Amino acid sequence: MPEGVKQAVIGVWVTIGLSVLSALINKWVGAVSTGEFVTSIIFYSIFCIFPYKLNKGSNPTRWVYAVLVGITILFMLGGMGGEIPKADLVVSVLMIPIEIFILFKLFQPEATEWFSRIK
């Protein structure tokens, strides 16, 4: 596995960790209900599939991740979800450069070659 892919996988774990931390903060300060908190945690636990599958060399996962990140960034730049909790806003702003780094590493030539070789 290329070093860039390893770095990208670590980056994905970091973004998931930051998202869980944000959910915890939101719950502690009362910005979200218990149901919203549980839904968020379930959603983030499902996202744990991404670093696992990327680590295994799944090219479709790489593309799905890229599309989801792109859609998320577009929504953020478009101002969707204007009434989001402050912790989510701060984490979202912090995660944009991390996500760009992840995508950059996942689509480097050596990463593309590696993903195309793995079946």
Q: For the segment 38-85, what is each residue's pLDDT rounded down to a tens digit? A: 999 999 999 999 999 999 999 999 999 999 999 888 877 766 556 777
CB 18 within 8 A of CB 94: yes
- Across the chain, mean pLDDT equals 89
For position 80, what pLDDT does the model report? 59
Number of structural domains (the chain) is 1
Is 0.85 topped by the overall pTM?
A: yes
Q: Would you call 57 exposed, middle or buried from its count of C-beta atoms within 10 A (0-12, 13-18, 19+)?
A: middle
Domain assignment of residue 97, given as a range: 3-117
CB 57 within 8 A of CB 50: no
